[in-house]
Amino acid sequence: MARIPNGPSRPADTQKSTSGSAAANRGAEQGIKTEPFGSSWDFLLVRMVFLGLSAAAGYFFSPFGLAPLPASLVGVAFGGLVILVELRLRRASLRRLIGASVGALLGIVGALLVNLILERTSIPPNTRSFLGIALVLLFTYIGVVVGAGKGDMLNLQALGGIFGNDPTSRSVTKLLDTSVIIDGRVADICETHFLDGIILVPQFVLRELQLVADSADPLKRQRGRRGLEVLQRIQKMPHLDVQIAEEDFPHIPEVDLKLVELAKRSDAKIITNDFNLNKVASVQGIDVLNVNQLANALKPVVLPGEMMRVFILREGKEYNQGVAYLDDGTMVVVDGARRLINKTMDIIVTSVHQTTAGKMIFGRVDERTESQVQIRHVSAGASETMARRASSHDGNRAEAPVRPGETAPSSARPILPDTGTE
């Protein structure tokens, strides 16, 4: 019975090809890259070829009865217009392109149906032809504009994965609120790549930011300008697709309700730090990304019974309470610390409460720390008393003035230098 080898034997050619591919991989790792088709130079070459073909078509066919040279210039102008449209369409998302295409198709079909009706009328042929062309242009224009505006509402994942390779279909659209833009922390979150995909900024939010930036109050004006700077910072991030939503709701006066309505229509999440907007959107079934909740979730976990060192800053609302703050702004309420204000001490955590405004920590003074503080106070007081007594004793021992005719005490007699004579 033949024995099966541990591994299949490779012919020499296969080994050579394997070594060649390994060498190619090493070359790629060393920085030698084979760039596929699709670079900027490739697109430039294609556009130049297209302009040349357009000029040649105009030269040979001579449209509108023009001479060959002017006709070639018309062909170049037509090619330049097509390239300009192509450059604009490259920036559009796949959703908008699909919406514009569907809208244009429906507009052309509607114009053809209207032209069928016009052919059965007694309108003169020239007028009917003009109306037919005008209707086709009008319906196509309306279809493109409306379809592109509504294209963000398309759910490409529901089409059976046909457009699954679109990078924007794997991410969820996020709406930015005015308060979270002014807050500024959303830019730091975006820099860490916790947010990606499409970031939608409504036009009414931009208007509100501009009103705040143009306010007469210097504090509001500074906040508005900071919000605009945050938006510019987010726009420069390459992994984000920042878009401006032109859709508005004139019948809704409040900006928060406009955000909720836009989130419903575009199937987007709202990024905010506004407590009221968070509640309103959650009640209506809209997902909300709250920056404050994220900050609270990232705070260090403190368990009852742990010891921590805090600085008692002020007195609390209740009797004999002191209040301290951690580095992240968490409030710490300490029982029995009213007399220890402006002192750093160790406390024992008794409970932790999570509120809508954040996390609150309750604790009590550590007995060992309290005894040490008392000992330090007693020793400091004793030292001060001893120093006071010593100073008063020295004052009582001050020398009395010598009266005329009396001899000064020996301790007060001056010591004369020895002259060497008796």
Residues 94 and 156 sit within 8 Å (Cβ to Cβ): yes
Which of these, 218, 225, 219, 169, lies nearest to 198 by C-alpha position?
Answer: 169
If asked whether residues 62 and 139 sit together in one domain, one would say yes
If asked whether residues 180 and 293 sit together in one domain, one would say yes
Number of structural domains, the chain? 3
Residues 346 and 308 sit within 8 Å (Cβ to Cβ): yes
Give, as one character, the DSSP assignment of residue 158: G
Grouped pLDDT means (10 residues each) for the chain, 422 residues: 41 42 43 50 85 88 85 89 84 79 91 90 87 90 86 58 47 86 90 88 90 90 91 90 85 88 87 89 89 80 86 88 86 88 89 76 78 52 59 52 49 46 40
Residue 147 domain flag = yes
pLDDT of residue 230: 92
If asked whether residues 178 and 274 sit together in one domain, one would say yes
pLDDT of residue 270: 92
pTM: 0.46
If asked whether residues 349 and 325 sit together in one domain, one would say yes
CA dist., res. 412 & res. 81, Å (int): 115
If asked whether residues 114 and 142 sit together in one domain, one would say yes
pLDDT of residue 27: 44
Residue 30 domain flag = no
If asked whether residues 106 and 217 sit together in one domain, one would say no
Last residue of a domain, one of 265, 297, 329: 297
Residue 32 domain flag = no
If asked whether residues 289 and 332 sit together in one domain, one would say no
Which of these, 102, 104, 134, lies nearest to 118 by C-alpha position?
Answer: 134
CA dist., res. 57 & res. 210, Å (int): 50
Residues 302 and 349 sit within 8 Å (Cβ to Cβ): yes
pLDDT of residue 320: 85
Quick check: helix, strand or coil at residue 205?
A: helix
CA dist., res. 363 & res. 348, Å (int): 5
Q: Which sign does the torsion angle of CA 306, 310, 314, 320 carry?
A: positive
Residue 78 domain flag = yes
Last residue of a domain, one of 105, 127, 153: 153
Last residue of a domain, one of 371, 390, 417: 371
* Token code pair at residue 173: 């659209």
Residue 416 domain flag = no
Q: Which amino acid belongs to residue 202? A: P
pLDDT of residue 413: 46
Residue 7 domain flag = no
Residues 189 and 180 sit within 8 Å (Cβ to Cβ): no
Q: 242 is in which domain, residue-wise?
A: 171-297
If asked whether residues 144 and 186 sit together in one domain, one would say no
If asked whether residues 185 and 143 sit together in one domain, one would say no
Residue 17 domain flag = no
Residue 120 domain flag = yes
CATH code: domain of residue 213:
3.40.50.1010
146 CB burial (10 A radius; 0-12, 13-18, 19+): middle
If asked whether residues 102 and 216 sit together in one domain, one would say no
If asked whether residues 264 and 324 sit together in one domain, one would say no
If asked whether residues 233 and 277 sit together in one domain, one would say yes
CATH code: domain of residue 317:
2.40.50
* Bridge pairing between strands 197-202 and 240-245: parallel
Residues 185 and 282 sit within 8 Å (Cβ to Cβ): no
pLDDT of residue 18: 41
